[in-house]
Structure 1
Amino acid sequence: MLYGFPVYWITGVSLFVPLFFGTVMAAFMVLRGHLRAVPGTLCWAALLCWIAVCLVSVTDFLQFAEFTQRLSDLVAVGISAAYYANARETLRLPHLLRGFIVIWTTVVVLGVLATQFPNFRLTTPLAYIVPRSLLNNEVMYEFAMPRLAEVQDPWGAEEPFVRPAAPFPYTNSWGMAYALLTPVMLLVWTRLSSRPKKFLLALALAVSVYPAAQTSNRGMLIALVIFALFVAARFVIAGSVRTALGVLSLLAASTAAAAAAGVFSSISERQAVSHTTSGRGEIYRETFEKTLQSPVVGWATPSMDPSIGIALGTQGYAWTLMFCYGFLGLVLFYVFLSRVLLATWRLAGTTAYVLQGIVATVGCTIWFYGLGTTQCLILVLAASALARAAVDGGDIDG
């Protein structure tokens, strides 16, 4: 699921990968038997069971198909976490980190290409196989013929905004993946013993700043700041004040570099013509009021609001959970995050703090950021690595 990430994007089959590998892993676990549940497993299972109950809100076939796709992805993600937790003899943390490297590298490379070829769309093999009628579906079209960038040309802008998106349909998904995995890449850098590898990764990190800056993405910057502050706080609590100051110094230097590169001015320029802040406020208000009409089981899937022109239950995964699965769906997701953090809080070391940072950052950012299947997979695998270490006695590298 991780190592083949770029291949699945190029071939257009990313939509089907979670279900395929989830089925394979489930079969292996059934054959093996003697499975164990680590902290967070039952919480995730409870969330999935509640989502299944919310099927009662489905009203037509298209809604059923979308609901089923979302649920199957979440089931596959949960199976992946359970598989990692039970494969402690064969899957260790370096295997997971190398998978994260593949995803991050794909994100950065395609991000750079997006800045150079913003109007390019890839025609994948899937586009030649699926019926033309299915290509009229927006989701299927974005997977079969993915674009490299979101090109936005709002009224009043001096020139279009080219915002990297690939290997995801939207720029915000790119930003979420970048925010979650870039601190992991810094962790990987500290673990490398080869100087050439350290140099290459440092070069890749430096290059990644360019497409990240081109996204003019406020949420991505906020997520990175939250991540850095959380890790610094963990070091302070552990008594490593010097390391915490190092993390904060890196954050300050990155902020200064971003300002010098014009990132903040680019964000201000886009906000001046796009008015996304006020628009999001209206979407959130309408989403909350609509949820109050079905607070228990929600509405199953996001729903287009003609007066706004944007689907309610979008623009943030917390709102998706609330709108689609009621307030209990949102609560159960936070129960999962809280359970993982509380159960693994005693774990010490940079690796543990960074993986905990993924969990904490997701908890803070889902109010304005969506959580696609890949980003969700990153979250639950990080949680599984933490939980497995807590159960096995604190060896996070085991």
Structure 2
Amino acid sequence: MTAIRSPLLTAGYLGSQVTQLTRPLPLWPLHVLFTAFPLLWVLGVGAFAAPIAAAPMAMVMWRNTQRVQIPRGFLIWVLFLVFLFASATQLDTAPRMVGFAFRLMNYLGATIVFLYVYNCSMRTLPARRAAGLVTIFWLWVVIGGFLGVFFPGGSLSTPFEQILPGAISTNEFVGDLVHPKFAEIQEPWGSPTVFERPSAPFAYTNAWGSHYALLLPFVLLYALTAAKKWHRPVIALIALASLVPAFATLNRGMFLAIGFGLLYAALRFALRGHVRWLVAVCTLMMVGLGAAYLSGLSEVISTRTEYSTTNTGRAAIYQEAFLRTLNSPILGFGGPRPSLSLGISVGTQGHFWNVMFSFGFPALALFCLWLWSLAWRTRWAPSSMMWLHVVPVMALFMVFYYGLDGTQLVLIFMAAALGLRPPDAPEVRPVAPEPWLTGARPRQAVTGDE
């Protein structure tokens, strides 16, 4: 069979290894990550969902493949991980080592998910099915948002919290992860209003907002390609309802990211001559803006901004992050450190600044180059698959003010992996099954992909 090279792989940096899978990769690890996320959250390990799902993925790939396919340019990301590992030499306290270990697990987990999805056959995991899995995750995010709206003072005592040593569980950052709250309750000094901002099923409201923004393109992709037509009106109704917790977060960054992503998609569709796509995107934006105006959202955000130091604080912390990184430009500091002038930590107000301060300027250049390459190399995605390309494009915008090293990075990598997969899937050979790993029956030999 003549191999057909995807145009998404022609503009690369390194040659990819063309290999063969000995059996199709099972999808149950992805269900653990997305479908079973509420269970992980209730157990207190929702923040560790990526490494938990990545562990069996790595084992399955090791057992089920002769050699894992690697996309062109992947060495850029490997070099970034090298600098990340090396930055651990700059750690000086046990709590900082714990934080570094958490971030490292998430980076490695996202890496494994990326390779796993990239190696999944299009027959086993078509883009529609992948978008459906992520849409289930989006549904849990919306439900968590409503928990924060109706029960803002609620929280969970989790099993994982109970088994952790007291010295670890009492750490403020760890406590936020293993004892999840339904909302962040903020009382800015002098403000006449207490702001109850939904955060469940994540530790922070900004995490809810960043996930919601990155999930929207997947949801749109699934709504446009769902095999069962009744799914589409149901998703539309849930999306409309999701505006309630979305507006309650008062998350300006989320609204900016969604607006940027939709405007970019509208422009790309218009340049391709797809007027109906342009009309649909513009209609979606108008509905959102109209709902925001009628709900009085702008006035509430204005009130919060008036009494909050978030704007001036971010500008100051960004400047401090750059200036202090000059003292350790190659390896950074291994992780965030307390600010010298503000009551927050340097490297916690945007992933761009976190990578720079924590891992140094070379790691920052590699991270940005990798993220840019994912967006660039998926730019020719056809038809509705364009929404996969929109995800890394949005990440390029969000990286300056959102942390993206949790399941946000998994979503970015998953969208890119789905867009970068070559259309000529590896040949699948009949082999003896291992039910405990795959849960699948032996399959007939097939060649190619859908």
What TM-score comes out, normalization by structure 1 length?
0.93
Inter-partner Cα distance in structure 2 for 1:391 and 1:340: 20
The separation in 1 between residues aligned to 2:423 and 2:392, in whole angstroms, is 15
2:110 is the counterpart of 1:74: no
Instruction: Give distance in 1, aligned partners of 2:334 and 2:278.
Output: 43
- Matches of residues 1-398 of structure 1 in structure 2 within 5 Å? 1-31=33-63, 32-88=65-121, 89-351=123-385, 353-389=386-422, 398=450
Unaligned regions of 5+ residues in structure 1, if any?
Answer: none
The code of the aligned residue for 1:203 comes to L
Q: Is the 8 A contact 1:192 1:198 kept in 2?
A: yes
Aligned mates of 2:416, 2:56 — CA distance in 1: 21
Equivalent-residue separation in structure 2 for 1:285 and 1:112 (angstroms): 36
> Cα distance, 1:16 vs. partner?
3.8
| Contact 2:37–2:49 (8 Å) recurs in 1 | no
CA distance in 2, matches of 1:93, 1:61: 42
SS in 1 for 2:421: helix
Give the distance between the partners of 2:140 and 2:59, measured in 1 at CA: 29
Any unmatched runs of 5+ in structure 2? Answer: 1-32, 427-448
* Contact persistence 2:128–2:221 (CA under 8 A): no
Q: CA deviation at 1:287?
A: 0.9
Equivalent pairs, count: 394
TM-aligned CA deviation for residue 197 of structure 1: 2.3
Q: Runs of at least 4 residues of structure 1 off by over 4 A?
A: 389-393
Helix, strand or coil at the partner of 2:230:
helix
User: Larger helix proportion, structure 1 or 2?
Assistant: 1
CA contact (8 A) 2:350 2:401 kept: yes
Are the equivalent residues in 2 in contact too, given 1:114–1:163 (CA < 8 A)?
A: yes
- Max radius of gyration: which structure? 2
Q: Residue 162 of structure 1: SS of its match in structure 2? A: strand
- Distance in 2 (CA, whole Å) between partners of 1:250 and 1:121 is 34
Q: Percent identity?
A: 32
Structure 2 CA distance for aligned equivalents of residues 390 and 356 of structure 1: 16
| Alpha-carbon distance, 1:288 to partner | 1.0
CA distance in 1: counterparts of 2:179 and 2:337, whole angstroms: 24
Residue deviations 1:64-84, cap 9 Å, x none?
Answer: 232222112101110111011
Change in CA separation of 1:99 and 1:15 when aligned onto 2, cut-off 3 Å: same
C-alpha separation in 2, matches of 1:40 and 1:188: 28
Q: Once the two structures are superposed, what CA deviation does each residue of 1:9-51 show, in whole Å capped at 9, x if it has no partner?
A: 0111224443333222222222222221124533322221221
- Offset, 1:268: 0.5
Contact 2:220 2:387 in 1 (8 A): no
Instruction: Name the Cα RMSD after superposition.
Output: 2.0
Displacement after TM superposition at 1:350 (Å): 1.6
1:392 CA displacement: 6.0
| Bigger mean CA deviation after superposition, 297-306 or 186-195 | 186-195
Mapped contact 2:210–2:408 kept (Cα < 8 A): yes
Counterpart amino acid of 1:361? M
| Alignment TM-score, normalising by the size of structure 2 | 0.83
Deviation, 1:246, is: 2.8
User: Counterpart amino acid of 2:211?
Assistant: A
